[in-house]
Amino acid sequence: MQSSLTPFRVAVIGGGPAGLMAAQTLAQGGVQVEVYDAMASVGRKFLLAGRSGMNITHDEAYADFVTRYGASAEALRPMLDAFGPQAVRDWVHGLGLETFVGTSGRVFPTDMKAAPLLRAWVHRLRESGVQFHMRHRWLGWQDDALRFKTEEGERLVHADAAILALGGASWARLGSDGAWMPLLAERGVEVAPLVPANCGFDVNWSEYFSSRHAGEPLMTVAVIARDAQGKEMRKQGQFVVTQGGIEGSLIYALSAALRDQIAVEGSTTIWLDLMPDWSEQRVADEVSRPRGARSMSTHLQSRLGIKGVKAGLLRECLSKEQFANEAQLAQAIKRLPVRLERARPIDEAISSAGGVKWSALEGTMLKAAPGVFVAGEMVDWEAPTGGYLLTGCFAGGVAAARDALAWRGR
């Protein structure tokens, strides 16, 4: 039995958002916390994700917010109830930084940067007694000890409990490489294969089209796609044409359904509405107006403002006969089919799905390894970009830490 003079010691493995939030919660609970990470510093992926603006959470109504987690919404709800969007903002404010809500409802630190937030956070953790051990790659267990590979050789660490927050398998160079999957599977933990989430997709563009339009954004467009039940869903936003496909926020928002359809069917089709603010009748009327000696391309630019990549897409996806047929062309402007061949590799994805199944957990503790808790992207859930991913990781870190503290009380 543990002596009352011996502090309860918890090893947090992984220094991303979930791991650091777990460490913070544990330290507040009065236990000894040591963070281990394979990289030279913590928060590598956190910093890169914030390069284009540190989107920490979202300001939409909470009832809608929870639904963004799809099939895992009910499993995550207790965690989000305990540490949701407002709690995230309050936590940032507690570090001495202010936040604001952007026009899209996304919430950012005032300076939009991740580095000041991470510096203030790590400083606060060190002040609270959290110890950091860098370049420690977790190798699993030896009896009851945690095994780590270090620059000085293998090291065994004994802890009263452990929280695993090792991320998924996207951006492996920043530390999330999924190497923990076989370690847990060998321990008898049920895991689902890691797959890309918030990812782009391959399209077999012609060389002519890709050489002229790769990198061009579609700023006002809607995508029609099918959900898991085959029902059509429609979202409006922006995405980018790449050398070999498509990517961007609008595509990421639909990527889970598209990825799953490709897994079953081998490929899938989306439909683009190139004029989402226009009715079908208005488009048809403008296309069919007399154009005299003008070419159809010039006519489309003059009457509908279709040019550049949108005009290129029509040429790419329609035959010459279809492009010349006014009725078929008008229909295609509102519903242009694009076939997606495959999701981009997981290492290019913003995040991943799969990992530890909910059925393998009692709360956040592994049923097959009592005293070991998991948090963040290691668990089989996913969410779109827009602050949902980060909030889910924060909430999971808090939940794992609180479960570990409660387990100590047993």
Same domain assignment for residues 87 and 184: yes
Q: How confident is the model at residue 6 (pLDDT cuts 50, 70, 90)?
A: confident
Q: In this predicted model, what pLDDT tens digit does every residue of 127-163 receive, in sequence order?
A: 999 999 999 999 999 999 999 999 999 999 999 999 9
Same domain assignment for residues 146 and 120: yes
Residue 2 lies in a domain: no
Same domain assignment for residues 169 and 22: yes
pLDDT of 3 > 50? The answer is no
Same domain assignment for residues 212 and 301: yes
> Which residues are CB-neighbours of 160 under 8 A, at least 6 positions away?
2, 8, 9, 10, 371, 408
The pLDDT, as a whole number, for residue 1 is 38
Q: Per-residue pLDDT averaged across 251-264, rounded?
A: 93
pLDDT-wise least confident of 316-320, 361-365, 406-410: 406-410
The pLDDT, as a whole number, for residue 86 is 97
DSSP for 54-115, please give it.
---EE-S-HHHHHHTTGGGHHHHHHHHHHS-HHHHHHHHHHTT--EEE-TTSEEEETT--SH
pLDDT-wise least confident of 8-12, 168-172, 275-279: 168-172
Q: In this predicted model, what pLDDT tens digit does every residue of 78-117 receive, in sequence order?
A: 999 999 999 999 999 999 999 999 988 999 999 989 999 9
Same domain assignment for residues 179 and 248: no
The pLDDT, as a whole number, for residue 228 is 74
Among 298, 320, 343, the domain boundary falls at: 343
For residues 77, 256, 359 and 177, what is the CA-based torsion angle, rounded to 10 degrees?
A: -110
Q: How confident is the model at residue 292 (pLDDT cuts 50, 70, 90)?
A: confident
pLDDT of 410 > 90? The answer is no
**Which structural domain, as residue segments, surrounds residue 368?**
9-196+352-408
Residue 90 lies in a domain: yes
The pLDDT, as a whole number, for residue 5 is 56
Same domain assignment for residues 276 and 374: no
Same domain assignment for residues 337 and 207: yes
**β 99-101/191-197 pair status:** unpaired
Share of the chain above pLDDT 70, in %: 99
Instruction: Give the mean pLDDT of the chain.
Output: 94
Q: How confident is the model at residue 2 (pLDDT cuts 50, 70, 90)?
A: very low
Q: Per-residue pLDDT averaged across 307-316, rounded?
A: 96
